[in-house]
Structure 1
Amino acid sequence: MDHVAASLRDRRLDAVRAWTAFVTEGNESVPVRPEILSSWRRSAQGTALEVTGAPLADEDDTASFWQDSPLQAAVMAVQDELRRSAEDGDLVLAVTDTQTRILWTYGGRVMRRKAETVNFVAGGRWDDASVGTNALDLAGRLDQPATVFSAEHFSPIVHNWVCWAAPVHDPVTGERLGVIDLSTTWDRAHPIGLATARMMARMIESAMPDTRQHPRLGLPPVDQGLSLTLLGAAEARLDGQRLLLNRRQTEILALLALHPDGLSLERLHALLYGDAAVSVSTLKAEVSHLRSTLGGAISSRPYRLMLPVTIDVDEVLERIRQGQVLAAVTAYGGDLMPGTNSPALSELAEVVAVAVREALLADPDPDAVLGYSEIAPYDVEVLEACLARLGTTGHRAVPLLRGRLAAAQR
């Protein structure tokens, strides 16, 4: 058994032990995240332990709500990409309303059958009062992405699952419309699962019908300019709308954003390709495509972005400079463009990763360390530094930190 498989097995055993202690002994000092423990407490008041499947809402009412809704229009616009992801990863995807009622699902071959057996289908009610702790409920309740792994689910019917969910908002009003969830078996859990859910939520939001044709009071301003997310799941947005770019095009935008004074063709080529035998004409073609996508907002001689740009890397590094470790980790979605072949971006990825890690070693804020351990679960030194700082204070995070340290050391 390889290291990843062994780690997942141990993580599952830890979750089962904690769940068993809570359910059979009422032990609330179990090493689980605070949001999981709170949900377990709510779930224990109901019948989630005995359920064999989610209760089903009225079929006609569910279909009527979904039909011609903004969510349906957005999901249908990007359904090909959603379905490919489900099939490639053997996932089951679900989109819910604000009451955690599933409105739409699509699944890979294996997970589709598993989903049907527990009513993870259109009309299924997945609030924790109905089926116990799950990622769909947490993402909606907390209005932030959530992961629930194996026996972190309260109901045994989904102890073999891992689920990642992220809220979906109206991009104009900011109103939460529901969540999107990705689920598979626990042994297929992957560190990028949560980032993928977040990316899919953003993709649905970017395809949402423009509600500005129905004016409302107090609308927040629409984002203007180019926004780049490079940490974790990379994406680019123009005036709030997601751009469909390949990896190389995103890398070019990243390099131009990181060099606001502009880059010559030769310098851009070196930063992007290094010593790889790629022709200059190939780079010119990529830049030409990007210029068209951005409405001409890339100048020549040098290549330079001619519009406002924000980039998540700057946010993380600025928070570190200000000593705001928790805010830095919150903004840090993971490694910068994992797998990039750009020497410049590879170097920056190392700079950012080391900066975040060193900031945590210098100031191991417990909440920041817990967030970081979701991204870097095997960083023993950071976990040890946090536990050493907390000592015998009895801090609420200590049991979970110890649990994660034990898992990382196996």
Structure 2
Amino acid sequence: MERAWSELGRPGEKAASLRAEVAESWARSGASVDRACLEAPVGDADAARSRWAHSRLREPVASVADELRRIADDAGFVAAVTDESGTILWTCGGRHMRAQAEKLNFAPGGRWDEQAMGTNALSMALLRGQAATVFSAEHYLAALHGWVCYCAPIRDAQGRVLGVLDLSTTWDRSHPLALSTVRLLAAGIEERLREDVPAVPAAVPAATPAVAPSAAFRLRALGETPALHRDGVELPLRPRQLEILALLALEPEGFTPERLRDALYGDRSVSASTFKAEVSHLRSALGGGIATRRYALTAPLACDAVEVVAALRRADPAAAVAAYAGPLLPRSEAPGVVEWREHLHVALREAVLSAVDPALALDFGRHARYDAALHRHALALLDGHDPRRGIATARLRAARG
């Protein structure tokens, strides 16, 4: 295959010993891809994560995520899910393999369509609508010759391809059962799609308010002074426990222990006993209130972040802005919290930019001091003699530096 790849650069010579679909892809790739390319072009990673938050694939993929993580950890793979265009929306894998993959921009926001990265299994599965493997020098780019990729398309109930599921590793770790495995996992995702899991409205993270606002427990997770109150009395919780509580409130379907641990610690090495102790202390503070096998809230809890999501879901940006006291747990670096923080901000910003009430842009502008587009939007909506123009003008100047 390396010989066949080298023949691509020789005028008049034909690459030998290639599968027909690979040879056809190579021929197409030559029109748009520089063979010296070392990494995938990447768009806005935050935008990709936001799209994942309200993707139809998110919940179905969550149903097999634990299995994907186990495979990635045990067999040295990195897993990925793309959208229908070949842009990666989600990945998981061990620290070493993810680091290797990220050097190629095999990460959220990376474009892996054929026009961007030439022959690869992700683009082939999308183009052909069937499972695909691309091994080592079958890749059009030399930068990918150290890899083998196994992919299967994911279709909805109407047969439309929504994206692909990928398992990738270095060529020396290739496994004869990998393609069958990715097919089975993709089939599991498709089965969940057929169960008509409700799609989340655009720009709104997938969460449903778990309780009525009259709950005895109330979590203030937005802004600079997060705290948990019971009947108006603040309960002493450590920052990690507030992170756990916020995540459980925002994702009422709950977490497996492994997924919650990842959401809190990411790739950091933390003992199981430390993690379980944090959950145990929080459970005690709630008087129970957290299920055991799958971590989920069982006690009524009101939460300002969930109220923002609920307002956005019912298309009420005024209520969402009123409830938004600032970023979600702004001092937290827990990966799951950071992801939700970004999702909430992006969703609320898009709602405000779509609204015609200048008061919303002015109110939300307090939390987005350097967002020039937001301040321009406020100015565009304000009457020429409105005294509030001074606020928007000052913010715009500050945003421009």
The structure with more radius of gyration: 2
TM-score by length of 1: 0.46
